[in-house]
Amino acid sequence: MTKKIFFWLLWLTLGIYAFNFAPPDQPDTLDLIINLSTGNWEGINPVIISLFNLMGIFPLIYASVLLIDGRGQKIWAWLFSTLSFGVGAFAILPYLALREDNPKFSGKKGWFLKILDSNWLAVFLTLVATTLVGFALFQGDWGDFVQQWQTNRFIHVMSLDFCLLCSLFPALLGDDMARRNLDNPLLFWAAAHFPLFGALFYLALRPQLPEMDEEITNIFV
């Protein structure tokens, strides 16, 4: 119950801060989002380009754990996972507050879960994330990014969202390891304490989820 209250309070605090205390919205925000989404990146700081695209990788990281966790939940995990592609931690936090501990998996994996459970997907995401981080580190204007973080609500909140998504992954990690009979404190520590790449490292190394004989009707999960 304490964890549930914590996640609800964190979600509420994030919402209040984002809409009341973050820097003001800028008139060109919609144009910036459209350009970032369509690949029209000319004149945009590489740090912002990388951050925006990393925010598209995080929902896939969470989906790789959350949709498996959702098999034993009373809530629709796919709904929160889908919403996370648009609003990030604003969707993940309510799921964490509503879910119950679920260290078991029953039934068979549909084709979609098999993709999410694949180590090769994690390797691919790691390569993309490494490229994006390198692009930001070596090509980005960090002074400009700091200035935009201080004055632009979209950049400011997206950055906080990124930090939250880095921090929340361990909340799902323990049960995912238990479902795989994986007892490795070092792997848990690495996945929990290395932002972004710790989660990707875990997904690339975790053993495949064992299937049970129980049939399921939903082909996606």
Q: What is the pLDDT of residues 113-137, one digit of tens each?
A: 999 999 999 999 999 999 999 999 9
Cα–Cα nearest to 37, from 165, 154, 197, 168: 154
Would you place residue 200 in the very low, low, confident or very high pLDDT band (cuts 50, 70, 90)? very high
Q: Report pLDDT digits (tens) over 156-168.
A: 999 999 999 999 9
- The mean pLDDT value of the chain amounts to 92
| Half-sphere exposure (Cβ direction) of 154: Cα atoms closer than 13 Å | 17
Per-residue pLDDT averaged across 67-88, rounded? 93
Per-residue pLDDT averaged across 78-95, rounded? 96
Per-residue pLDDT averaged across 189-195, rounded? 94
Structure confidence at residue 218 (pLDDT): 45
Residue with structure tokens 């964490």? 96
Percent of the residues in the chain that have a pLDDT greater than 90, as a whole number: 85
CA dist 30 and 210 (Å) reads 44
Structure confidence at residue 107 (pLDDT): 79
CA dist 117 and 186 (Å) reads 21
Would you place residue 5 in the very low, low, confident or very high pLDDT band (cuts 50, 70, 90)? very high
The CA-atom distances, in angstroms, between 135 and each of 106, 139, 142 are 41, 5, 12
**In the predicted structure, residue 216 carries a pLDDT above the cut 70:** no
**In the predicted structure, residue 220 carries a pLDDT above the cut 60:** no
170 token code pair: 């361990």
Contact in structure between 102 and 175 (CB atoms under 8 Å): yes
Structure confidence at residue 109 (pLDDT): 85
DSSP H helical segments within 39-184, as ranges?
46-69, 77-87, 89-98, 111-116, 119-139, 142-151, 153-168, 170-179
The whole-model pTM stands at 0.91
Residue 10: its H or E element: helix 2-20
CA dist 140 and 136 (Å) reads 5
**In the predicted structure, residue 16 carries a pLDDT above the cut 50:** yes
Would you place residue 206 in the very low, low, confident or very high pLDDT band (cuts 50, 70, 90)? very high
